[in-house]
Amino acid sequence: MTIEDPKSFRIWLSLSDSERRKTGILAKKTPGSTLVLPPGMKAQVINPNLPNIRESDTDILHMVTSGLNEPEDISTGQSKGTFASVKASRAPMTDRVSDEIAYLDRFLKYDFYSSVFFLRSTVTSFPTLFKRREAVDFKDNEPVFEYVKKKPEFLVDIAYPTSELADAEARARAFLGVKHGSTYDTLGIPNAEIAKKMGFGNYKKLRLQQETEKSRYPELITTVDDEGVQEKTEAEPGKKRLIKRKKKEE
């Protein structure tokens, strides 16, 4: 505290004890408290003396990003590291996003919708079990189908947005080789799971929409025919074709 005007300070001394307490000068100083200065007095904060934050002082930034559970470049939108360091941080980030989606999926199906279906089956005639024809085993290299009873929450399909952090092409090359066929043909994984990995949820609804379009719109040429037409129309003509074309023009 600095007294700039002694006359004003004498006026403050003439105040009563209750009036002096209201100014807060003699009170214990706490962070965030309010200090009312009388006329002729100046206050200056000397400690704590906070250092200037520079680019090398990233302790607070690292505490924030660790609390958000995100890489630094995703939180700030500015990448300072190399491409290899940024790429190395994407795998843990992908795992965290997948974990959050898995937690939400289990909560919705087995906590939320399970309770909803239980209340509905108790109040109304909603069935508690549903029969579904599924392949349960193989016999003589042929699938064996049976009707399996399942609870309704196990039949719920929820579509989630697909994270673009994972490099699906690099992962497919690592496990299946550079020249590999489709996952459906080489590994026998169902198309519903492949569609889910690609970001298309509710495979049954999409197949029904496809059949609706087939009945409403004209047929499209297949992929093989499409490639053949493209080669015929856009490829460079050979020498024989050029000779025939010149003769026709003559």
In order of 8, 70, 113, 126, 152, the CA distances from 123 in angstroms are 80, 45, 15, 8, 16
Q: Calculate the CA 49 to chain-centre distance.
A: 41
pLDDT of residue 185: 79
Give the model confidence (pLDDT) of 209-250 as tens digits: 888 888 878 887 665 555 565 556 555 555 666 666 666 666
- Hey, is 236 helix, strand or coil? coil
Task: Let me know: does 163 contact 97? Beta carbons within 8 Å.
Answer: yes
| pTM for the full predicted model | 0.49
Q: Which of 53-62, 65-74, 109-118 has the highest mean pLDDT?
A: 109-118
Q: Where are the beta strands (DSSP E) in 17-79?
A: 41-42
Terminal CA-CA length for the chain: 107
Mean pLDDT of the chain: 78
Domain edges within the chain: 2-42, 81-165
| Of 16 and 229, the one with more pLDDT | 16
Count of helix runs (H) and strand runs (E) in the chain? 13, 4
